Amino acid sequence: MAIFSYKGLDKAGKEIKKSIDSESLIAAKTKIRAMGIMLIEITEQKAHKKAKGGSGFTFGQAVSIQDLSLMTRQLATLIKAKIQIVEAFSALVDQTENEKLKTILAEVKQKINEGSSLAKALSDYPKVFDNVFVNMVEAGESSGTLEVVLLRLADFTEAHVKLKNKVKGAMTYPLIMMIVGSLMMGIIFIFVIPKITKIFETMKKELPLQTQVCIWISEFLKSYWWAVILAGFGSVIFFNKYITTKKGKSRWDSFLLKLPVIGNLVTMINVSRFCSTLATLLNSGVPILAALKIVKNLISNVHMQKAVDAARINVSEGASLAAPLVRSGLFPTMVTHMMTLGEKSGELEEMLKIIAENYEDQVDSKLNGLTSILEPIMLVGMGMAVAFIIFSVVVPMMELNSIH
């Protein structure tokens, strides 16, 4: 089964652009003509291409997490209703609105029809179905609980989206304030201050230091505004490149953990992600060593990654999961204590779930607190900048009036 995009004219002569799934190009053309559409153009959509050397290239980036979560929940419902997996994918292809995902689902259906397992077929699209998704599906297939695993996956994906959106939402307002404030200051220094400077030139006395500084900044920005913009872009590019290196990433992650409020938030987000993902994988039947390997790659902080990897090695040797996390000093005591209790009582999954829920609430509280702290700080900063400009201009103007 393949997806074909076509362009044609309906009976009223109106141009339409749609897609249709069919076994072949000839069958697709027959279907379209049967609908009374005069075909102008038709092309087969391809979601996955193999480059030379065997490396895969996918257009999965266009599939949002929301689309993936909805598709997962629909698939779980269909399988729970005892619908054969090939028929379930046929239904998903018809129901899915996202064209990229529709194409991928059609190709997955074709691979399953040819004898492939669902997990193997999904693994060909790593940009859409990551390691967590594929491993959980594989565990669900082998244990015969695929519909339960898929429902857990949908819940997990939705929770991940929710956390991501909260972090983005908390950072949006301060970022907008910073950009707008910088633009306002730039306009004042480039267009307003030079006009006032002409008045000061009529004064036959030395200007106050703050006024001289203000005029110097204005002249510099007026002459080299392009250099400031280039330097800003260059700094961002250099910084992004630096933190992709092993040394740069290590230093930056270490710096983030030491910051007063941000460090706490980074720890909480990573702990929440670690515990929720590990609990979901273990509950779905994924072996603990494989689960720890997957979870390690989902943690953003490189130092916390090393601690999880040490825990994986410890578990592979038959020792405790919590002990290396305690030694790292990066995981809160309450987290490692509850994990130790979970290991001893045989209820590790439940303990991890409790920790994840607790830390999700704490992340919410911290993000709200961070936003409430940043807002007044930025307002005070902007107020001080404006006060500096006003003071720099008003004092000489008052002296000029006193002369007259």
End residue of a domain, out of 83, 112, 129? 129
Q: Is residue 155 part of a domain?
A: no
**How much is the average pLDDT of 319-342?**
90
Residue 317 is assigned to a structural domain of this protein: yes
In a domain, 195, yes or no: yes
Residues 38, 47: Cα–Cα separation, whole Å: 26
Is there a domain that residue 140 lies in? Answer: no
**Domain identity same for 226 and 337:** yes
pLDDT at site 391: 83
Whether the predicted pLDDT of 370 surpasses 90: no
Stretch 239-258: mean pLDDT = 92
pLDDT for position 239? 93
Q: Which residue has the higher pLDDT, 301 or 402?
A: 301
* Residues 123 and 232 occupy one common structural domain: no
Q: Are residues 288 and 400 in the same domain?
A: yes
Domain boundary among 82, 108, 129: 129
Q: Please report the pLDDT score of residue 58 as a whole number.
A: 39
Higher pLDDT, 88 or 367: 88
Residue 365 domain-assigned (yes or no) = yes
Domain that holds residue 20: 2-45
Q: Quickly state the pLDDT bin for 337 (edges 50, 70, 90).
A: very high
Shared-domain flag, residues 101 and 223: no
| Percent of the chain predicted with pLDDT > 70 | 92
Confirm whether 300 is domain-assigned.
yes
Cα gap 335→117, rounded to integer Å: 37
Same domain? For 113 and 189 the reply is no
User: Is-contact 229 237, C-beta < 8 A?
Assistant: no
Question: How far, in Å, CA of 395 to CA of 159, rounded?
Answer: 56
Q: Same domain, yes or no, for 176 and 100?
A: no
Give the pLDDT mean for 158-178: 79
For the segment 308-312, the average pLDDT, to the nearest whole number, is 92
Same domain, 17 and 61: no
What are the tens digits of pLDDT across the range 12-60? 778 877 777 666 777 777 887 888 888 778 777 665 444 333 333 333 3
Considering the domain architecture, whether residues 104 and 184 belong to the same structural domain is answered as no
Q: Mean pLDDT lowest for which of 69-83, 159-173, 315-329, 382-396?
A: 159-173
Between CA 186 and CA 34 the distance in angstroms is 63
In this structure, the answer to whether residues 33 and 119 fall within a common structural domain is no
Give whichever of 36-45, 112-121, 133-142, 174-183 has the largest mean pLDDT. 112-121
At 184-224, the pLDDT tens digits run 888 888 888 888 877 777 666 677 888 888 888 888 988 88
Q: Are residues 340 and 252 in the same domain?
A: yes
pLDDT at position 380 is: 86
Contacts of 12 (CB under 8 A, 6+ apart): none
Residue 2 confidence (pLDDT): 65
| Nearest partner of 336 among 363, 318, 314, judged by Cα | 314
Weakest mean pLDDT among 18-22, 34-38, 157-161, 234-238: 18-22
pLDDT value for 62: 67
Tell me the pLDDT tens digit for each residue of 60-108: 346 888 888 889 889 988 988 888 888 998 889 888 888 888 888 988 9
Q: List the structure tokens of 292.
A: 């720890």
Q: Distance between terminal CA atoms of the chain?
A: 89
Q: What is the pLDDT of residue 140?
A: 82
Instruction: Please check whether residues 206 and 81 belong to one and the same domain.
Output: no
Q: Is the pLDDT of residue 329 over 50?
A: yes
pLDDT for the residue numbered 401: 64
- Same-domain check for residues 217 and 117: no
User: Angle at which helices 209-242 and 193-200 pack, to 10 degrees?
Assistant: 150
Q: By the 8 A CB rule, do 371 and 173 touch?
A: yes
For residue 227, pLDDT over 80 is answered with: yes
- For the chain, what is the mean pLDDT? 83
> Domain of 61: which CATH number?
1.20.81.30
State residue 316's pLDDT score: 92
